[in-house]
Amino acid sequence: MGVGIQVTNLNAWYGTNHTLLDINLHIPANQATALIGPSGCGKSTFVRCLNRMHETNPIAKVSGSVQIGEVDIYADASPVEIRRRIGMVFQRPNPFPTMSIYDNVASGLRLNGFRNRRVLDETVERSLKHAALWDEVKNDLKKKSGASLSGGQQQRLCIARALAVDPEVLLMDEPASALDPVSTAKIEDLIFQLKSQYTIVIVTHNMQQAARVAERTGFFLNGKLVEFDSTHKIFTNPGDKRTEDYITGRFG
Amino acid sequence: MTQTKFSAANRFRRTVVNHLASGLAVLSTILVVAPLIAIFIYLLYKGASSLNLAFFTQAPKPVGESGGGMANAILGSGILLIIGSLLGVPIGIAAGIFLAEYGRGSKLANIVRFTADVLNGVPSIVMGIAIYSLIVLPQKHFSALSGGIALGIMMIPTITRTTEEMLLMVPHAVREAALGLGVPTWRAVLSITLRTASPGVITGCMLAFARVAGETAPLLFTAFGNNFWSANLNEPIAALPLQIYVYALSPYDEWHRLAWAGSLVLIVLIVVSVSLVRYVTTRGVLKGAS
């Protein structure tokens, strides 16, 4: 089951560049929450703060608190534990190139020392089915490299890989921006199905996409969260002039 | 402007330049490969006739007696190279991992990288003398171990630098994918980044191996050579390049012929072992893996 995320006074820096300023919001459990905004507004940095990927960059810094369920991820846990509970799908599909499809999906469990063959087999099958990829790859699971799939399939493979470690939250950083419309539609269908079991946070450039998949939408601009409300409200009756300007295409 | 751009004269010029460039590439390839083939043919011509079963099964006979072989030197070279690889490969790869994954941009990394480059340029005879004064003199005897260590140290810089280069070529996205799964950094480096870079890293190891396999100078004052069977790491040991060196400088025709045969065997053994490693390590590569 998914859990809610409470973000309080979150600030983030790259070197001296202050990229996130005092972000406060609550992301509800088992819903999809979309983050929109122009390039460089801080939305990617924000999701990377939610699973402590931000700090993998040596010049990055962060302050404030992020509570996922009962856990304050910056105070109570190591980054490694946090990232197991919070899966991430990146902008460009990034399967492990030397691994088979099966090994890609199993990698999260295996690299954390899990070896039971039967459970691995089951997990791989369940995750690939969840990611709507099973029927397309079930015959070459161990024969083909993950890198030999098409872009859209690779991205679903990456989703399956993230689901295999059984996270509570799934972060998606523009998961469809490198994909064609058919693959994009498949990813969106998937988000629809997955949100009954996971809390989903999706960063997107595509406002229609946000409107289609998300219950709630946040609008970022210049490192600030300008507005956060139900998707319906944001797209039909935004409270802030800047949100309205962005939605109606006056900038960005 | 656009008129002249697509004119017949321009098209002709482009075709000529294109063929010229391809021609140069082919010519360079021939220039690179030709000496290798020439050496090999010459070795076959000079050495093949002296190859027989005794060459591969017997130690050298004393001066004046005919026959004998280099079996002890083949064994010795094998032992020296195993010691060298056991030392050079792990240290070289570990240092490469440090440079690419942990020390990037740090002062220590710059020092390590500089040291490796200097070490790469140290003449092999100097390496021999260094190991002689560090290990042979205190021990007061030549030994297989000291020879193997000399070869191992010579392997390190090549392996370190190729490992670093190959790791840096692994896309950042692959590292992020591993970290994003909650994999500890050390595990991500070993199981993901290094594994992705492994074809290049193995090439680096093979280059270093092939280079030291033919080295004579670092063995002159360390392994020293031995005319009898020995597999004792604490005693002087024979090695193919050493044996070739001694035989080639000798005044006896019989020994000259054996030296040619030894050279041929050395080259063939290097080619076989490198190909074998390559075959074994690429067997499991999957369809479509990049």
Give B91-118 as a DSSP string: HHHHHHHIIIIISTT-HHHHHHHHHHHH
What pLDDT is attached to residue B103?
Answer: 87
Asked if A35 contacts A202 with a C-beta cutoff of 8 angstroms, the reply is yes
Asked if B67 contacts B254 with a C-beta cutoff of 8 angstroms, the reply is no
Q: Which residues of A touch B289 (CB under 8 A)?
A: 97-98, 145, 147-148
Whether chain B has a CB inside 8 Å of the CB on A235: the answer is no
Taking the CA of residue A1 and the nearest CA in chain B, the distance in Å comes to: 18
Question: How does residue B5 score in pLDDT terms, banded at 50, 70 and 90?
Answer: low
Is A157 strand, coil or helix? helix
Asked if A146 contacts A157 with a C-beta cutoff of 8 angstroms, the reply is yes
pLDDT in tens, B234-252: 899 999 999 999 999 999 8
Nearest to A111 among B191, B285, B288 (CB): B191
Q: In this structure, what DSSP letter does residue B287 have?
A: B
Closest CA to B231 of B82, B60, B61, B62: B82
Whether chain B has a CB inside 8 Å of the CB on A242: the answer is no
Question: How does residue B282 score in pLDDT terms, banded at 50, 70 and 90?
Answer: confident
Whether chain A has a CB inside 8 Å of the CB on B109: the answer is no
DSSP lists the bridge partners of residue A25 as A7
pLDDT for B2 beyond 60: no
Q: Which residues of A touch B198 (CB under 8 A)?
A: 98
Whether chain A has a CB inside 8 Å of the CB on B41: the answer is no
What pLDDT is attached to residue A26?
Answer: 94
Residue written as tokens 């799934």?
A170
CB contact under 8 A, B287 and A148: yes
Residue segments in chain A with a per-residue pLDDT below the cut of 70: 252
pLDDT in tens, B14-48: 999 999 999 999 999 999 999 999 999 999 999 99
Give A105 or B5, the one with higher predicted confidence: A105
Whether chain A has a CB inside 8 Å of the CB on B192: the answer is yes
Whether chain B has a CB inside 8 Å of the CB on A145: the answer is yes
pLDDT for B233 beyond 70: yes
pLDDT in tens, A46-102: 999 999 999 888 899 999 999 998 889 998 889 999 999 999 999 899 999 889 999
CB contact under 8 A, B288 and A108: no
Chain B CA closest to residue A167 = B181
* β pairing state of A86-89 and A169-173: parallel
- Cα gap B273→B123, rounded to integer Å: 25
For residue B183, how many other CB atoms are within 10 A of its CB?
A: 24
Average pLDDT, chain B: 91
Whether chain B has a CB inside 8 Å of the CB on A75: the answer is no
Question: How does residue B107 score in pLDDT terms, banded at 50, 70 and 90?
Answer: very high
Phi, psi (rounded to 5 degrees) for A227: -155, 140
Q: Which domains are delineated in chain A? A: 5-99+168-247 (3.40.50.300)
Q: In this structure, what DSSP letter does residue A168 have?
A: S
Nearest to B174 among A96, A111, A149 (CB): A96
Taking the CA of residue B289 and the nearest CA in chain A, the distance in Å comes to: 5
Mutate to test the interface with A, among B175, B181, B187 (most CBs of A within 10 A): B181
CB contact under 8 A, A108 and B171: no
Q: Which residues of B touch A173 (CB under 8 A)?
A: none
Question: How does residue B287 score in pLDDT terms, banded at 50, 70 and 90?
Answer: low
Distances (CA, A) of A23 to A20, A39, A178, B11: 7, 18, 28, 61
Contacts of B286 (CB under 8 A, 6+ apart): A98, A99, A100, A143, A144, A145, A148
Taking the CA of residue B112 and the nearest CA in chain A, the distance in Å comes to: 21
Mutate to test the interface with B, among A111, A149, A161 (most CBs of B within 10 A): A111
Question: If you count them, how many residues does chain B have?
Answer: 290
- Cα gap A125→A127, rounded to integer Å: 6
Determine the average pLDDT of the residues in B199-206. Answer: 92
Closest CA to A38 of A222, A198, A174, A181: A222
Query: Per residue, what are the HEC states of B253-276?
Result: HHHHHHHHHHHHHHHHHHHHHHHH
What pLDDT is attached to residue B286?
Answer: 65
Determine the average pLDDT of the residues in B203-212. Answer: 93
What pLDDT is attached to residue B284?
Answer: 66
- Cα gap A212→A189, rounded to integer Å: 10
Sign of CA dihedral A140, A143, A146, A147: negative
Q: Which of A135-139, B65-69, B152-156, B184-188 has the highest mean pLDDT?
A: B152-156
Nearest to B289 among A53, A85, A147 (CB): A147
Whether chain B has a CB inside 8 Å of the CB on A100: the answer is yes
* pTM, two decimal places: 0.85
Q: What is the ipTM of this complex?
A: 0.87
Residue A234 CA from chain centroid, whole number: 21
What pLDDT is attached to residue B8?
Answer: 84
DSSP letters spanning B161-194: HHHHHHHHHS-HHHHHHHHHTT--HHHHIIIIIH
Q: Which residues of A touch B195 (CB under 8 A)?
A: 96, 98
Sign of CA dihedral B26, B31, B36, B37: positive
Q: Which residues of A touch B177 (CB under 8 A)?
A: 90, 94-96, 158, 161
- Cα gap B276→A80, rounded to integer Å: 39
CB contact under 8 A, B196 and A97: yes
CB contact under 8 A, B180 and A96: no
DSSP lists the bridge partners of residue A202 as A34, A172
Chain B CA closest to residue A102 = B286
Determine the average pLDDT of the residues in B146-173. Answer: 95
Residue B126 CA from chain centroid, whole number: 18
Whether chain B has a CB inside 8 Å of the CB on A232: the answer is no
Asked if A214 contacts A204 with a C-beta cutoff of 8 angstroms, the reply is no
Nearest to A94 among B173, B182, B188 (CB): B173
What pLDDT is attached to residue A251?
Answer: 77
- Cα gap A98→B196, rounded to integer Å: 6
CB contact under 8 A, B176 and A90: yes
Whether chain A has a CB inside 8 Å of the CB on B183: the answer is yes
Nearest to A98 among B178, B187, B289 (CB): B289
